[in-house]
Amino acid sequence: MQEILIKLLELQNIDKELAILENKSKDMPRRIEGMQLVNDNKKTELNEHQHNITELKKKYKLLEVDLKETEEKIGQYSTQLYAAKTNDQYKAFLKEIENIKKEKAKIEDKLIEVMETIENTERELKHLQSESVEIENETKDKITMLKNEEVNIHKAIKERIKVREEICNILGKDSLAIYERIRKNKGGIAVVVVEGERCGGCLNPLPPQKVLEIKKNDRIYFCEYCGRIAISPITRNSNQ
Ligand SMILES: [Zn+2]
């Protein structure tokens, strides 16, 4: 009987390990995605900067065209100014030239402003580019590490499943059915070790008589509170 109890405890330990491994395995795609997301966000930021620079350069070119137009207009009005036949015409052209010169000054200010923004954005872009290269390399390394970890987890799961099958063969149908039923109903824990005089599962104190009975290890005993299979520490020690 003690052999069965030892195997039940072994089975419980294997199932605990399997649960941890399976959770890790399930969590892996989320972790890999998370890594990828950090990388993707940096790339998006980089693209946005590149796009901004392109737009700013377009704006700069348009302003240059505007500037040329104002210069041409000033030239035209200047020619007309000298050809003015009346004083009123002369004054009107002069006024027009003044207005266009003001417009020209505004465009020149804008050109400087846009150029400064381009220079700043280009500086930021350079910084982002080196950051992005770093993050991309880091991401690659980390994902490789996670994928290796994933392979190891799957290997460990396979190994545990093999050991589990061997234990199940030794246990036989009846003990296994009891184990599986309790495991299903008790959050994955069917076998507990009595700690002192308490159930190692629900932690309720067990009657001294019951503790003595469990110590005999002559059959499967159950905690009368949580219904789990209760094994005495002697069994666990003889297992080690
Ligand atoms: Zn209990």
What is the residue-averaged pLDDT of the chain?
94
C-alpha of residue 172 to centroid of ligand 1, in Å: 24
Cα separation of 221 and 207, whole Å? 13
Mean pLDDT, residues 208-216 taken together: 93
C-alpha of residue 24 to centroid of ligand 1, in Å: 28
Cα separation of 145 and 161, whole Å? 24
pLDDT tens column, 32-55? 999 999 999 999 999 999 999 999
Query: Is the model's pLDDT at 237 over the cut of 70?
Result: no
Q: Which two tokens stand for residue 181?
A: 């039923």
- 10 Å CB burial of residue 80 (0-12, 13-18, 19+) is middle
In the chain, % of residues over pLDDT 90? 91
C-alpha of residue 210 to centroid of ligand 1, in Å: 12
Rounded (5°) CA angle 179-184-188: 85
Cα separation of 236 and 240, whole Å? 7
C-alpha of residue 220 to centroid of ligand 1, in Å: 14
Cα separation of 178 and 11, whole Å? 12
**Residue 83 corresponds to which amino acid?**
A
Residue 157 makes CB contacts below 8 A (sequence gap 6+) with 18, 21, 22, 25
Total residues belonging to the chain: 240
Output the pLDDT for position 85: 92
C-alpha of residue 12 to centroid of ligand 1, in Å: 15
Output the pLDDT for position 239: 47
201 touches 219 (CB < 8 A):
no
Q: Nearest to residue 9, comparing CAs of 162, 206, 183?
A: 183
Output the pLDDT for position 238: 52
C-alpha of residue 223 to centroid of ligand 1, in Å: 5
C-alpha of residue 21 to centroid of ligand 1, in Å: 26
Ramachandran assignment for 86, one of left (phi > 0), alpha (psi -120 to 50 degrees), beta (any other): beta
C-alpha of residue 167 to centroid of ligand 1, in Å: 24
C-alpha of residue 93 to centroid of ligand 1, in Å: 103
All domains in the chain, ordered by first residue: 2-171 (1.10.287.1490), 177-239 (no CATH)
pLDDT tens column, 121-175? 999 999 999 999 999 999 999 999 999 999 999 999 999 999 999 999 999 999 9
222 touches 229 (CB < 8 A):
yes
C-alpha of residue 20 to centroid of ligand 1, in Å: 22
Output the pLDDT for position 2: 85
Query: Is the model's pLDDT at 10 over the cut of 60?
Result: yes
C-alpha of residue 198 to centroid of ligand 1, in Å: 8
C-alpha of residue 15 to centroid of ligand 1, in Å: 19
C-alpha of residue 214 to centroid of ligand 1, in Å: 13
C-alpha of residue 207 to centroid of ligand 1, in Å: 12
Q: Nearest to residue 231, comparing CAs of 204, 201, 205?
A: 201
This prediction's pTM: 0.75
Q: How confident is the model at residue 234 (pLDDT cuts 50, 70, 90)?
A: low
